[in-house]
């Protein structure tokens, strides 16, 4: 037993060092959008911004106003009101009366074989004639020169697709710490810094900011391939990459921000739609990845309290490295130093969400999202 414990401790230390080194190196390769020089009027492309909205009365006005305040010479803003039952439609009508650049598209029915958001994006994208399309969510707040800076990066690297990781705003310590943990896992899994490499199988897509050339989107059939994908944003990046188009990612701190969730309950409920779809509904992947997360990220902290000697020492070193790394990541995300100390707690919450989502999806035979039920059979058929 002692040999097994010390072997596990060394394995955890090595895995920790490798993972941290890869993420730190990867982050150093990603441009920060706020540091880029804004493009000139002559360099600007014609642009259509598409925002899907369903029951977004809490956030929609601030998000739309921030888009209308963009210091960008040529754009239209299309907000798709997808069967909202709250005050979303009323707010959008008032804003459209104030600014002619805002066009509101009303959707009253959802056709069979589509997720609501994906259908809304597809309907709007079919209408545009601009050179570029920006897909963004209804709760994203933009700084005035965000679009100019993004276009500078598109021109600089001749990109067909640019995704931007937003700054996440959360109301309390636990939620901000969870956002940091989620970001670390996201970076390790998707390796977004490698998306620009045509030889790499890495890809990236971000619901908060997916900027794509219209001809590239049309060449892949719009959102048709993603009709039933709850993770449509990242899978759009995959489809674009597989089609041979050039993509990259930027960090959006001080450029775009999102109030992600307002409570732990919202986090658990909000990730219910895509925590299982992200692994293509594979039970084995959920089980193995969750056990690895607990073994590599939670056990070292427990081991410090229940072991002794070399095992305790090595696990203590692992824990110290993790706390330091997570604290540094938290500082980069403007989330506060305490995220490192809460790391084992937030990892445990993440694993709980994985298992809860998987079991609920299997038990219900599908997912219920935005008052619509989608069966697991039809979800599984849309493999990307």
Complete DSSP assignment for 256-311: EEEE--SSHHHHHHHGGGTTTGGGTT-HHHHHHHHHHHHHHHTHHHHHHHH--HHH
In this prediction, residue 240 has a pLDDT band, given cuts at 50, 70 and 90, of very high
Render pLDDT for 91-137 as a digit per residue (tens, 0 to 9). 999 999 999 999 999 999 999 999 999 999 999 999 999 999 999 99
- pLDDT at 335 (0 to 100): 81
Domain span holding position 129 = 30-263
Are 201 and 294 in a shared domain? no
Are 157 and 251 in a shared domain? yes
- Rounded Cα–Cα distance for residues 328 and 330 (Å): 5
The rounded percent of the chain whose pLDDT value lies above 90 is 84
In sequence order, what are the beta bridge partners of 213?
A: 132
Among 212, 247, 263, give the residue marking a domain's end.
Answer: 263
Dihedral, CA of residue 231, residue 234, residue 238 and residue 243, to nearest 10: 100
Mean pLDDT of 246-252: 97
Render pLDDT for 51-93 as a digit per residue (tens, 0 to 9). 999 999 999 999 999 999 999 998 999 999 999 999 999 999 9
Are 369 and 352 in a shared domain? yes
Are 223 and 290 in a shared domain? no
- pLDDT at 273 (0 to 100): 85
Q: What is the pTM of this model?
A: 0.93
* Domain CATH for 163: 3.90.550.10
Dihedral, CA of residue 28, residue 339, residue 291 and residue 305, to nearest 10: 120
First-to-last alpha carbon distance for the chain, in angstroms, is: 44
Are 306 and 248 in a shared domain? no
In three state form, how does the secondary structure of the chain look? CHHHHHHHHHHHHHHHHHHHHHHHHHHHCCEEHHHCCCCCCCCCCCEEEEEEECCCCCCHHHHHHHHHCCCCCCEEEEEEEECCCCCHHHHHHHHHHHCCCEEEEEECCCCCCCCHHHHHHHHHHCCCCCCEEEECCCCEEECCCHHHHHHHHHHHHCCCEEEEECEEECCCHHHHHHHHHHHHHHHHHHCHHHCCCCCCCCCCCCCCCEEEEHHHHHHCCCCHHHCCCCCHHHHHHHHHHHCCCCEEEEECCCCEEEECCCCHHHHHHHHHHCCCHHHCCCHHHHHHHHHHHHHHHCHHHHHHHHCCHHHHHHHHHHHHHHHHHHHHHHHHCCCCHHHCCCHHHHHHHHHHHHHHHHHHHHHHCEEEECCEEEEHHHHHHCCC
Among 237, 263, 289, give the residue marking a domain's end.
Answer: 263
Are 222 and 283 in a shared domain? no
Tokens of 130: 């601009």
Q: How far is CA 99 from CA 93, 130, 218, in A?
A: 10, 19, 28
Are 21 and 35 in a shared domain? no
In sequence order, what are the beta bridge partners of 105?
A: 80
Are 192 and 98 in a shared domain? yes
Among 263, 282, 302, give the residue marking a domain's end.
Answer: 263
Are 50 and 149 in a shared domain? yes
- pLDDT at 322 (0 to 100): 95
Render pLDDT for 159-179 as a digit per residue (tens, 0 to 9). 999 999 999 988 889 999 999
Are 180 and 278 in a shared domain? no
Structural domains counted in the chain: 2
- Rounded Cα–Cα distance for residues 270 and 290 (Å): 19
Mean pLDDT of the chain: 93
Are 161 and 278 in a shared domain? no
Mean pLDDT of 6-28: 93
Render pLDDT for 174-226 as a digit per residue (tens, 0 to 9). 999 999 999 999 999 999 999 999 999 999 999 999 999 999 999 999 999 99
Residue 1 has pLDDT above 80, yes or no: no
Render pLDDT for 319-348 as a digit per residue (tens, 0 to 9). 999 999 999 999 888 887 788 999 999 999
Are 17 and 101 in a shared domain? no
């Amino acid at each position: 037993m002692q040999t097994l414990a010390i072997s596990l401790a060394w394995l955890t230390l090595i895995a920790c060092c490798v993972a941290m080194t890869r993420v730190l190196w990867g982050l150093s390769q990603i441009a920060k959008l706020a540091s880029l020089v804004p493009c000139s009027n002559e360099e600007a492309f014609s642009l259509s911004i598409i925002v899907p909205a369903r029951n977004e009365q809490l956030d929609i006005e601030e998000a739309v106003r921030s888009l209308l305040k963009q210091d960008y010479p040529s754009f239209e803003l299309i907000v798709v009101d997808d069967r909202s039952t709250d005050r979303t439609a009323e707010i959008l009508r008032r804003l459209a009366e104030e600014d002619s650049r805002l066009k509101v598209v009303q959707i009253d029915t959802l056709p069979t074989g589509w997720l609501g958001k994906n259908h809304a994006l597809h309907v709007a994208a079919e209408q545009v004639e601009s050179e570029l399309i920006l897909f963004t969510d209804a709760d994203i707040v933009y700084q005035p020169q965000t679009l100019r800076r993004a276009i500078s990066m598109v021109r600089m690297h001749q990109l067909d697709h640019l995704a931007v990781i937003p700054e996440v705003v959360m109301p309390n310590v636990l939620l901000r710490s969870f956002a940091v943990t989620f970001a670390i896992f996201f970076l390790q899994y998707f390796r977004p810094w490698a998306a620009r490499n045509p030889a790499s199988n890495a890809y990236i897509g971000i619901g908060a900011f997916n900027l794509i050339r219209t001809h590239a989107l049309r060449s892949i059939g719009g959102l048709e391939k993603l009709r039933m994908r709850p993770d449509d944003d990242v899978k759009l990046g995959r489809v674009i990459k597989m089609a041979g188009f050039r993509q990259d990612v930027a960090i959006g701190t001080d450029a775009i921000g999102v109030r992600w969730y307002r409570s732990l309950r919202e986090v658990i409920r909000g990730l219910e739609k895509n925590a299982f779809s992200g692994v293509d509904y594979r039970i084995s992947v959920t089980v193995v990845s969750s056990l690895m997360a607990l073994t590599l990220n939670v056990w070292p902290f427990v081991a410090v309290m229940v072991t002794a000697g070399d095992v305790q020492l090595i696990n203590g070193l692992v824990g110290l490295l993790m706390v330091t790394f997570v604290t540094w990541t938290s500082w980069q995300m403007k989330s506060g130093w305490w995220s490192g100390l809460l790391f084992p707690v937030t990892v445990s919450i993440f694993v709980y969400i994985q298992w809860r989502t998987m079991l609920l999806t299997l038990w219900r035979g599908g997912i219920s999202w935005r008052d619509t039920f989608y069966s697991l059979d039809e979800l599984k058929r849309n493999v990307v």
